[in-house]
A and B are shown apart, each in its own frame.
Chain A
Amino acid sequence: MPKVKVPRKSTTVDMTAMCDVAFLLLTFFMLTSNFVAKEPIVVAVPSSISEIKIPERNILTVLIDQEGKVFFGLDTQQDRKEVLENVGKAYSISFTEKELNEFSKIGMSGVPIEKMSAFLALKPEERDTKEAAIGIPTDSLNNQFEVWIKTARQVNRELRLAIKSDQLTPYKVIKDVMGTLQDNNENRYNLITSLEQVSTK
């Protein structure tokens, strides 16, 4: 008794729908994503109950690590280029177009201006090494950090400042940085923290 044939109804499912979904999601993630910016050092930010989100654009990030090394980051490539050019001018160092382009790809930098050329000549992999992450000098004799801040402000008036610092950074360094900001009439800034749950009685 041959049964009514229902063979050949293969087990392959139609993948089209699934494919559609996959690529839809992919498109979504590609468009919404902003990549985790690479930072030269890892800092553990303190937690706070504040729920204010950082604005999306025009952020100048000042990164301070445990040892008090200061790094400087801008979020648009155009700004980075102009800022480096102008900071170079202030120290009468000129950068080639290639160096400027190279710099515009780096999210955060913490190199004294006189070593910048050598730093930019390094391969991208080599830049992350400990030796390359020197930090921008902030002491009063050679306050390059101040020059960076001033220049950035001149290049882009819309910039908002954010300080991202490690939990264990000594207050002395923070005080110096804040003092420098205050000297330059940068009186409003954000401190980057992570969220903490706190019960208020």
Chain B
Amino acid sequence: MAELQVEDKGKKGKKPKQKKHSSRVDLTPMVDLGFLLITFFMLTTSMLKPQTMEISVPSKDKVQEEDQNKVKASQAITILLAKENKLFYYFGTQENGIDPEVIETNYSSEGLRKMLFQKNFDVMKAVDELKKEKKKMAEEDYNKKLSELKASKSAPIIIIKAADEANYKNLVDILDEMNINNIARYAIVDITPYDLGLIDAKTIPAK
């Protein structure tokens, strides 16, 4: 743009003596400034928006009613989050005074994920197949089918109970496992003294 103007002037004035010398400004400092500011903005901006995990919990008054329709014991898996990143789970519940067998596991892919994968095998398989056909169907259909699959009756129901000493990362990890294993039916429940007892029974003799 600047150049154009220069030429314009030259033609108008018809004074060949004062040629191209004039109005050409050295733009180097301006470019410097421009890039400096760009650098500043690039460094201060957060282009990446943080990821989030959506969870919805039942509202308080509803919980009491729904507590009545107890989870079928055969489908229930209770996951206990204990202190020092310890993790336990057991199937079903206490029956006829016999405690369920508590199994210790860990947060690695070989631990809890493997168990959940096996328990939820049917659903995982169906979801995998659905994913292959994803391209053919509309987004809405896919989402609908996916949630149908996840809510299927045979899928396990997970009860997550975290001890006070467990940390937030543990909780997020467990919620993550639920997503990885396509488990839609899970609940975060307050830990009971009974469960704490189970954890203690499992940890103390080991020491």
Contacts and interface: CB of A to CB of B under 8 A. Distances in A.
Given A15-B31, A34-B45, A49-B180, A188 B168 contact: no
B51 A171 contact: no
A192 B50 contact: yes
B54 A190 contact: yes
Interface string A27-64: 00110111110000000011111111110100000001
Contacts of A201: 109, 117
Interface of A: 12, 14-16, 18-19, 22-23, 25-26, 29-30, 32-36, 45-54, 56, 64, 162, 164-172, 174-175, 178, 182-183, 185, 187-196, 198-201
B7 to A, nearest CB: 13
Interface residues of B, number: 51
A191 B172 contact: yes
Given A188-B56, A193-B51, A196-B176, 13 more contacts: A35-B45, A36-B44, A46-B173, A54-B49, A54-B52, A167-B168, A171-B167, A172-B164, A185-B60, A189-B56, A190-B53, A194-B51, A198-B109
A193 B166 CA distance: 18
Nearest to A169: B168
B160 to A, nearest CB: 10
A190 B52 CA distance: 6
B121 to A, nearest CB: 11
B22 interface: no
A175 to B, nearest CB: 7
Contacts of B179: 48-50
Contacts of A164: 50
B53 A35 contact: no
Nearest to A185: B59
B51 A52 contact: yes
A14 to B, nearest CB: 7
